[in-house]
Amino acid sequence: MHNKEEKLNEFGRLLEIMSELRQKCPWDKEQTFESLRTLTIEETYELADAIIKEDKTEIRKELGDILLHIVFYAEMGSETDDFDIYDVCRGLCEKLIYRHPHIFADTEAHDSETVMQNWETLKLKEKGGNKTVLSGVPASLPATIKAHRIQDKARSVGFDWDEKEQVWEKVKEEIEELQAEISKMDKEKMEAEFGDLFFSLINAARLYDINPENALERTNKKFISRFNYLESKTLSTGRDLKQMSLEEMDKIWNEAKKFEQQ
């Protein structure tokens, strides 16, 4: 791997390239914080996809794209004298040192649970930081990820089940409440109860150290694979899925499941 000097030189080269692009490239000159925002979100999801696929080459490329956005925002900040990449890096370094007193001070933390509790407590104490436990959860997060973050932050201040097995009673309770509303066919209350059920299942996943977003994406990919097999197998016989009975489709679906297990 490369040494520290090589890394710093290459980062400096990146900053110089970004500065020149901002001055000379028509597209780069037109960009604003708002115009880059959606592109940054897309790049983050592309990195997430590469991580799920465990494709190290793609991970490296996507990290580069995200780093480009970081230095792009910093370059725009420097143009208005609001901040530059030095301020970004310095602020991050100071935050990391402050929030890791078990490394840089005399606080003790022998497990990750304690580290996370200390992290959240220190965040609340920071001047100008989050004023409440949940205020640090971005409003624009997708609902599944947001639910997981909300529950995780509540846990950090002790708001959690005494025993993780207790969550299953809550899941059963939410299923019963949903079924009661379904019998009445009240769409608004059904939606509310579906939300409560999803929230309790996400909570259960968290308690068993399962990332709900990853779990659902795994099932999405499994369904896509099986459905593609079903469609391909059907088309190879000269038929269309709409011409197939549910029993016929189920038979091919089970074939796809067997192939996955091989």
- The answer to whether 11 and 74 are in contact (CB under 8 A) is no
Q: CB burial class (10 A; 0-12, 13-18, 19+) of residue 148?
A: buried
99-103, 149-153, 170-174 — which one is most confidently predicted on average? 170-174
What integer pLDDT is reported at residue 194 of this predicted model? 96
**Distance separating alpha carbons of residues 74 and 84, to the nearest angstrom:** 5
Q: What tokens appear for 221 in the block? A: 């990919």
Q: For domain 4-89, which architecture applies?
A: Orthogonal Bundle (1.10)
Copy the structure tokens of residue 246. Answer: 């549910």
Radius of gyration of the chain (CA): 25
Residue 155 above 90 pLDDT?
Answer: no
**Residue 123 clears pLDDT 90, i.e. is over it:** no
Separation of alpha carbons 99 and 53, rounded Å: 32
Residue 112: predicted pLDDT: 77
Q: What is the mean pLDDT of the chain?
A: 89
83 contacts 74 by C-beta, under 8 angstroms: yes
Sketch the domain layout of the chain as residue ranges. Answer: 4-89, 161-210, 214-261
Residue 116 scores a pLDDT above 80: no
Q: What is the tens place of the pLDDT at every residue in 53-81?
A: 889 999 999 999 999 999 999 999 999 99
Q: Quick one: what percent of the chain has pLDDT higher than 70?
A: 95
| Residue-by-residue DSSP string for 147-186 | HHHHHHHHHHTT-S-SSGGGHHHHHHHHHHHHHHHHHHT-
